[in-house]
Copies of this chain bind each other. A is one copy, B any other.
Amino acid sequence: MAASSSVNAARALAGFAVSSHGPPSGAAHSDRLTLPAGAFALSSLSSRSFSSSHRFLRQAHPASRRAAASAPIRAAAVETLEATVTEAFVEKSINTIRFLSIDAVEKANSGHPGLPMGCAPMGHILYDEVMRYNPKNPYWFNRDRFVLSAGHGCMLQYSLLHLAGYDSVQIEDLQQFRQWGSRTPGHPENFETTGIEVTTGPLGQGIANAVGLALAERHLAARFNKPDNEIVDHYTYVILGDGCQMEGISNEVCSLAGHWGLGKLIAFYDDNHISIDGDTEIAFTEDVSARFEALGWHTIWVKNGNTGYDEIRAAIKEAKAVTDKPTLIKVTTTIGYGSPNKANSYSVHGSALGPKEVDATRQNLGWPYEPFHVPEDVKKHWSRHVPEGAALEAEWNAKFVEYEKKYQDDAAELKSIISGELPAGWEKALPTYTTESPADATRNLSQQNLNALAKVLPGLLGGSADLASSNMTLLKMFGDFQKGTPEERNVRFGVREHGMGAICNGIALHSPGLLPYCATFFVFTDYMRAAIRISALCEAGVIYVMTHDSIGLGEDGPTHQPIEHLISFRAMPNILMLRPADGNETAGAYKVAVLNRKRPSILALSRQKLSQLAGTSIEGVEKGGYIISDNSSGDKPDLILIGTGSELEIAAKAAEELRKEGKTVRVVSLVSWELFEEQTDEYKESVFPAAVTSRISIEAGATLGWQKYVGSKGKAIGIDRFGASAPAGKIYKEFGLTAENVIAAAKSL
């Protein structure tokens, strides 16, 4: 293909027919291209005035507009190229990305230059030619999303954000790569760097997050778009590498993406044949594209990802044309492209090139500049993204004004989802219970809460890993989110816990008002722990509905019975581990979970029926630990019994017996250790007076960690072995989780 065709391709991508002012498509062989005059005027307008004039332009061509809307290609609404963009200039821009990455890794003497060097062409084309975003408002709702699933290559993304004009990544930030307190940490972190959508690095998480982002777009588009106003309309782009492809999670989520037909998900597979241990031949010889076809994806192979810019552009165009399937673009690249001695080897993957090789690479690619230098023409070229991004957002804002006028209720819902502002009084929907309410499993009580909340929280959606009828997670007023019914809210994840968690992270980070929940048996958090940890780290307020939370599940046996799981999450930073004991506590747990939008919550719920206890409350749960009963006067009971979840009623029962014998006993529900630790010292002392050292905890889980509350003189009753297969009551008895055993322990203290 002639060089100029690249620009034609880029323009076609941008959703424009090639203007009659330019050379006819495919005819001209000049390597310069004059773009329509109108395109230039735009950047000289303020975004507001642009917005209206642009709307006028669009309205002036209703037929072509409609055609564009129904046509497979929908992309940037504005022409984005400067007057003269040659292939040589594109290469210069790409080399700028390469050397910013090389220089930053070199300065830090730490990092991964190989991927940015190989993927710079994809990066350039995406951020400079294809994607719609507003650098000065990285949170603009309708932006295209980009995820670097191969997060170790983050210098690629930092370089692109810098060139595109994001305030978060100044040249000084690039120079502080991987340093204490910098905005350019060792892997992309959405909570450190605006412009980064999700937190990646652990391989496979990013592609899963991207599936979540694309799911969110499809769901919201189906719910809110109108024939005359497609208010939700963006793409999700991903770059993933061999490492991501090998991880099981990526197969899980890509199977789902294919099943759901997420046509606006476009994944670039950086096929560079190198992983840390060397050539991928040693461990990865499957036919990836054939696998993706089996998963229901459209696949394209770009054979020359190093310099075949037009191939990349054409692939994106083709991907956009396929609207009913996600697309995998396998892009064969050379890791460390440009490095004469280290390219195509693992040595360029995860280490600085070293000064000598950096020099050699500069020479090889003809790069005469100092480290961290961005040539003026490159700077100027990229600078248009600031006004154009503002224009894109302004145009969308105007569109939203129209939308709001015509579709008030929908607009209000969408606004709540975009802003994250919860509807006033939502918490009134939470059910309450009295001791007269029937005993019930907290998994059932959880379903009552979920269904009550779904009525008032427009952003609540989620589902289970093929255990909906066991986890009790179906929203009864909604159908299934499926290819043909994406407006519905029950998501069927299949038996894919890991993918489920990471997809929910993507949903949560799509819009502040989306509240994803997901469910499986508590023990199977082991399958999804990496995703849960990322929820905690990236501040995604996912609600984890984890039923069958102890040996109380009975006959399924030790493979299904969690033991160490409660403590393992209590020790994880920035996550709430909640184990409610009855109806009021389950409602309290949901209140906490919904309010904590930047901290995920795990609700551990029982399979078995539990009594509705006296003294439990939503307010109590919000404090994490509180007294549910105490027959002492003053603040000095003989004994404090502490329980959580299904064992709180055992503690209450034991207390009742001990009180009959004349003891003063306090019963404390310690439903969330994290929330309790956040209370004032005064409050904590009021619950656990230092002077009362006779303390017994009872919980159907590991005792390790309980020493913190029972102290050196207390006793923790729990389970420090694997479970067993038998009816639940029998196991409780055999394992000593009984009121009798609590009473005996109390007497021994």
Q: Which A residues lie at the B interface, using CB under 8 A?
A: 108, 110-111, 151, 178-182, 185-187, 189, 199-203, 242-244, 246-252, 255-256, 258-259, 275-277, 280, 282-291, 293-296, 346, 464, 466-470, 480, 482, 492-499, 523-524, 526-527, 529-530, 533-534, 536-537, 554-560, 563-564, 567-568, 570-574, 702, 704-705, 707-708, 711-712, 720-722, 724-727, 730-731, 734
Q: How far is the CA of A79 from the CA of B595 in the complex (A)?
A: 69
Q: Which chain B residues border A255 with CB–CB below 8 Å?
A: 246, 284, 286
Q: Is the CB of A201 within 8 A of B247?
A: no
Q: Is the CB of A466 within 8 A of B277?
A: yes
Q: Is the CB of A277 within 8 A of B725?
A: no
In the assembled complex, 10 residue pairs joining A and B whose CB atoms fall closer than 8 Å, in A order, are: A185-B724, A186-B557, A199-B559, A203-B495, A246-B494, A248-B496, A248-B498, A275-B495, A287-B296, A571-B705
Q: Which chain B residues border A288 with CB–CB below 8 Å?
A: 294
Q: Is the CB of A252 within 8 A of B246?
A: yes
If A179-B730, A182-B725, A537-B558 are given as contacts, then 13 extra A-B residue pairs at C-beta distance below 8 Å, sorted by A number, are A180-B730, A185-B558, A246-B255, A276-B466, A277-B466, A283-B493, A291-B291, A293-B294, A498-B527, A536-B722, A563-B573, A564-B573, A711-B712
Q: Which chain B residues border A524 with CB–CB below 8 Å?
A: 202, 530
Q: How far is the CA of A727 from the CA of B499 in the complex (A)?
A: 32
Task: Report which residue of A111, A287, A291, A495 has the largest number of chain B beta carbons within 10 angstroms of its beta carbon.
Answer: A495
Task: Report which residue of A256, A294, A296, A523 has the largest number of chain B beta carbons within 10 angstroms of its beta carbon.
Answer: A294
Q: How far is the CA of A244 from the CA of B285 in the complex (A)?
A: 22
Min distance, Cβ A560 to any Cβ of chain B, angstroms: 6
Q: Is the CB of B286 within 8 A of A720?
A: no
Q: How far is the CA of A724 from the CA of B727 in the complex (A)?
A: 46
Q: How far is the CA of A200 from the CA of B560 in the complex (A)?
A: 10
Q: Is the CB of B570 within 8 A of A704?
A: yes
Known: A492-B282, A563-B573. A186 touches B294 (CB 8 A): no
Residue of B nearest to A726 (CB): B180
Q: Which chain B residues border A470 with CB–CB below 8 Å?
A: 276
Query: Would you list the 8 A-B pairs with minimal beta carbon distance, nearest first?
Result: A248-B248, A283-B494, A185-B725, A290-B294, A568-B568, A564-B571, A180-B726, A201-B559
Min distance, Cβ A382 to any Cβ of chain B, angstroms: 26
Min distance, Cβ A419 to any Cβ of chain B, angstroms: 27
Q: Which chain B residues border A464 with CB–CB below 8 Å?
A: 277
Q: Is the CB of B555 within 8 A of A110?
A: yes
Q: Is the CB of B252 within 8 A of A186?
A: no
Q: Is the CB of A247 within 8 A of B294?
A: no
Min distance, Cβ A295 to any Cβ of chain B, angstroms: 5
Task: Report which residue of A110, A346, A482, A731 has the largest number of chain B beta carbons within 10 angstroms of its beta carbon.
Answer: A110
Known: A295-B286, A559-B534. A466 touches B722 (CB 8 A): no
Q: How far is the CA of A675 from the CA of B472 in the complex (A)?
A: 41
In-complex Cβ contact of A275 among B151, B466, B708, B727 (8 A): B466
Q: Which chain B residues border A499 with CB–CB below 8 Å?
A: 248
Q: Is the CB of B726 within 8 A of A178?
A: yes
Q: Which chain B residues border A537 with CB–CB below 8 Å?
A: 558-559, 722
In-complex Cβ contact of A731 among B180, B243, B246, B574 (8 A): B180
Q: How far is the CA of A571 from the CA of B275 in the complex (A)?
A: 34
Known: A296-B286, A537-B722. A702 touches B571 (CB 8 A): yes
Q: Which chain B residues border A466 with CB–CB below 8 Å?
A: 243, 246, 275-277, 283
Q: Which chain B residues border A244 with CB–CB below 8 Å?
A: 495
Q: Is the CB of A111 within 8 A of B186?
A: no
In-complex Cβ contact of A187 among B246, B283, B559, B572 (8 A): B559
Q: Is the CB of A180 within 8 A of B564?
A: no
Residue of B nearest to A491 (CB): B283
In-complex Cβ contact of A276 among B469, B498, B523, B707 (8 A): B469
Q: How far is the CA of A731 from the CA of B480 in the complex (A)?
A: 47
